[in-house]
Amino acid sequence: MRSRAALSWSTSLFCLLFLSTVSPSTSSRPQWILQRVPVVLPEKTEDQPAPHFLSQARLDVASECDPECHKRAPRLSYWDLRRLLAFETLHSDGRLTETAIGIYGYNPNLNTSPAYASGSPAKAEGSRVRRRREIFGHDGRFSIAGQNFLLKFPFSVAVKLSTGCSGTLVGDRHVLTAAHCVHDGKNYVKGAQKLRVGFLKSKQRDAPQSTTNPTNHVEGAPYAPPTNDKMKFQWIRAKRTHVPKGWIKGNANDIGMDFDYALLELKKPHKRRYMKLGVSPPAQRLPGRRVHFSGFDNDRPGQLVYRFCQAGEETPDLLYQHCDAQPGASGSGVYARMWDGRRRRWERKVIGVFSGHQWVERQGASQEFNVAVRITPLKYAQICFWIKGNFVDCREG
């Protein structure tokens, strides 16, 4: 009975991921809509005191500020954005620099993002005493097994950080992850200076391809993780780590997770296919309102865990959903698959970074969310510049 259920889940997953969507016409397909994005340019870089690297990295982040709390927050001004999108760069030799930025081609009147510096919105009462949970009812996560899945796009873009989090390949030598995986809001965590990124690979160069399918936890049965005895992690050191000042100036537990993202530059190219960045569309424009992400959840050690679910509420900076996740998955790239009309093909793009957990009490009832930081046009411009090193290649997202 269990194997039959697992086979059913495997077949569904295969169809969801790898078969082309049949659509009667181009106009009915969910499409990526390219838009001109602002320009975010570095202006001045200064040396900063060396970090302490004292705290342990947190593998999950919690916030008591729910969607309504964010929507009540004052609007960010142009100068707020310049301050919050300024960034620190941690170098592998221990040096720390801070870079001021300029923003061009941006209309602040169109911005509705919540602000950290303009006063803290009210938090939900009573939320400090309830125990968090990250599994919503039936555990809907898939453990991916077998080289023919693990080494195939899109699963192959998921990587593991030496601090215990996950990340996503977004360039020839760049990894997008959560800021809290390297910085606790006050200082850089232990292991951040010698940060390494792990890639799953075969232990044997000429190992035969496994035919094992992804399996899902069957409700009511003990979890038995599939074995990947021919897989191991290959590690590459990070050369630079970029963290926005919006994360450093305001701790995520203040009002939320709006700036909980970071970009790692590796010391050498990883030579794998990576996933493109995309500006996060409104949830109602996502196919089936679904989001997807893969990461290395701690309760399934050594396993790559994939999940998908419907997106729920959203703010300009955050996307709320009930995707099952455990600590260790934070930093995973949240992506969607839609039709690229210019290239005439289906394209997966990273539209956010999985951050952590929020829950509030409303009229005596608990409401819980897992939260992803959305890639807004400004964040797209910033992250793209970190990757490309110029703004010319970052004008459309």
Q: What residues are annotated to the active site?
A: 180, 254, 330
Q: How many CB atoms lie under 10 A from the CB of residue 5? A: 14
Which one-letter DSSP state was computed for residue 31? Answer: B
Give me the phi and psi of 67, to 5 degrees please.
Answer: -55, -40
Identify the CA nearest to 279 among candidates 316, 246, 307.
316
What tokens appear for 169 in the block?
A: 């390949």
Please name the residue that has the structure tokens 């690297």: 53
> What is the distance between the alpha carbons of residues 311 and 282, in angstroms, rounded to a whole number?
10
Exposed (0-12), middle (13-18) or buried (19+): which is 297, by Cβ within 10 Å?
A: buried
Identify the CA nearest to 246 among candidates 85, 373, 42, 354.
85
79, amino acid identity: W
Quick one: CA torsion of 228, 158, 316, 289, rounded to 10 degrees? -50
Identify the CA nearest to 163 among candidates 178, 150, 143.
178
Residues in contact with 107: Cβ distance below 8 Å, sequence separation at least 6, in sequence order: none
CB–CB of 330/178 below 8 Å?
yes
What tokens appear for 257 in the block?
A: 């997770």
Identify the CA nearest to 6 among candidates 214, 302, 150, 147.
214
Identify the CA nearest to 170 among candidates 395, 391, 385, 390.
385
CB–CB of 355/123 below 8 Å?
no
Residues in contact with 12: Cβ distance below 8 Å, sequence separation at least 6, in sequence order: none
CB–CB of 161/197 below 8 Å?
yes
